[in-house]
Amino acid sequence: MDLVHREGLARVAKFSTPHGIISTPTIMPVINPNIRTISIEDMKKMGMEAIITNSYIIRRNDNLRTHALEKGLHDLMGFDGPIMTDSGTFQSYVYGDIEYGNTEIVDFQEKIGSDISTILDIFSVPEDTHENAEKAVNETYRRMNEISGERKTIIAGPIQGSIYNDLREKSAKLMSGTNAGYLPVGGVVPLLEQYRYGKLCEIIINSKLNASFDKPIHLFGGGHPMFMGMAVLLGVDIFDSASYVKYARDGRLLFQEGTRDLKEIMEFPMWSPIYGKYTAKELRDSSPEERTKVLAHHNLFTIFMELREIRERIYEQTLWQYVEEKSRAHPALFAAFKSILKYKEKLEPFFELYRKPPLYYFDESSQFNPYFVRLQKFISGNPGFCGQKSHVPEGAWQPSRLSEKFITEQYEKSSSPYFLRWMGIDVPVELEEAYPVEQVIDIEHYMEFESDEVPEITLSESERIRNFDLEKLRTLCDFQFGYGTGKEVFPDESEVTKSRATGRIRTVSLNGKFLATMRAHDGFLGLNIEGGNRLLKATRYPANRVVVNEDSADFNARGYNVFRKFVIDYDPNIIPLNDVLVVDSEDNLLAVGKAMLSGIEMATYRGGMVVSVNHHTRER
């Protein structure tokens, strides 16, 4: 997987197959080789890049089998792009044992030229006992290990485990340790049909967080647009579904927020491919074959429209917000969103240091947003914020403006920690400009207040004992790089330069050498080489570091980006988009750059860029 853009676990990425690249997140429409409801060309126009079909059906049919073996699967399907094949697992579950074994069906998939071939795993259902579900996990793992040696096809190793989180975790770890290059999450269709989205979210989270991050996560059968955004947010890359046809046969239409029955529809939306071609009555009166074809076209169009929206949201970094908004569309979705919030501490490390848009505060549930969680974790773990609290007088702070009188008369003449009462939590006043404190938008922005009262600031006769600008820089440093680093990186002799136009901190220097800049868009620190060297001395190996081998060290020292295959060690606590130190095996600083992956993800990614270098120690 080559990462293009991200928001937390959600990612726009490229996955290479023998017949081309699949851009994620996307869906593979399920195509029955015997029945073609929508043409390949029409699917391509909607955005289809890959399809999935069933190798068991092909193998059982003499004509299909002969065609596939002689001319190849792609000729049979009339499609020159990536094709994934299923193995017959579902048929085995429904009808009992099938006539082919695991290695036999995988060999067949490879012979006919499947790009992604699925092993014959053991299908688990929600009603399975823990004992039976674990047997299925173990047997699926055994079968995966039967498929050994070099293959021309990518092997899909399904993650099973029924509704049991410990078994999903176990299965994900087992499958990630095999030669499977593709990881579908199986056994979830019954949960989708029952609207048990909360349990499904738990399954996805426990599968994703224990799987190899450089392999695609595929949700078998997860093709309803109302749930897709939530699934992508939790790390699903690829879907497949025959729902577009199944719903059409039942006279139902998919919409981004749910499903509607053709019998109850009066008008079609203007975005639908049906609009202007049929009235609802004309479609109801049409033949079953024509009605199914037209509704299937609408349904698949809706799915791809939702995927385009999801991808755009990832680029904007507003997918969490989109899912939070959309969760109000159905009680099952809202219950699922609440189940996601239970995993807030596990999800937080994957979210970037900041994001481009503001954070929207809706209600108390917004306090479980990863950025709130990160703030509260920093505050509770910092001994300097313990004990008695002092609060900034009400009205003395607004985003971008902290009363100068408060700073000079109270803050700088006191050693007490001061806090802002912000969105229901107490935040250190030094983080007033850091994301998301300044960048949040909530209901108070749109409420009218008629009070013109000026906050009362108590005058103090005490001497000035600290500098607000310096304490702000130190607190930001502690937040980004660990408690205690602030004082080491920014000693008392540091010199602060401010913008004449805004009065904000712009740069900080020591003895004429730049240490860091304070970025206007997110309020965080960007370290220079001198600041990087001071951070290096202030922390123990491998904190805040990405360590490269000797083949890469000179290139990185001259400003070239860091790629995963040259990384030999890293700090597992790195969060994406934070500054990191690039060092060699002897802990010499080579460069300072922006992390593109979390430390947790670096453990399993095998390729791609991991650090975008900003400053380097040698000339090119």
What is the rounded distance in angstroms from the CA atom of residue 319 to the CA atom of residue 306? 12
Residue 39 is inside which H or E element, if any? none
Q: Which residues pair with 278 in a beta bridge?
A: none
User: Between β-strands 83-86 and 51-54, what pairing exists: parallel, antiparallel or unpaired?
Assistant: parallel
Q: Is 560 buried (19+), middle (13-18) or exposed (0-12) by CB count in 10 A?
A: middle
Helix orientation angle between 331-341 and 197-208, rounded to the nearest 10 degrees: 30
What is the rounded distance in angstroms from the CA atom of residue 477 to the CA atom of residue 82? 47
CA distances from 292 to 260, 307, 579 (A): 15, 23, 54
Residue 156 is inside which H or E element, if any? strand 154-156
Do 248 and 296 meet the contact criterion of CB atoms below 8 Å apart?
A: yes
C-alpha closest to that of 600 among 573, 562, 566, 568: 573
Half-sphere exposure of 99 (CA within 13 A, CB side): 5
Question: Position 210: which residue type?
Answer: N
Residue with tokens 């006919």: 112
Do 590 and 582 meet the contact criterion of CB atoms below 8 Å apart?
A: yes
Q: Both ends of the chain: CA-CA distance in Å?
A: 30
How many C-beta atoms lie closer than 10 Å to residue 131's C-beta?
8
Hey, which residues are catalytic here? 86
Q: Is 619 buried (19+), middle (13-18) or exposed (0-12) by CB count in 10 A?
A: exposed
Dihedrals φ, ψ of 95, to 5°?
-105, 0
Residue 465 CA to its chain's centroid (Å): 45
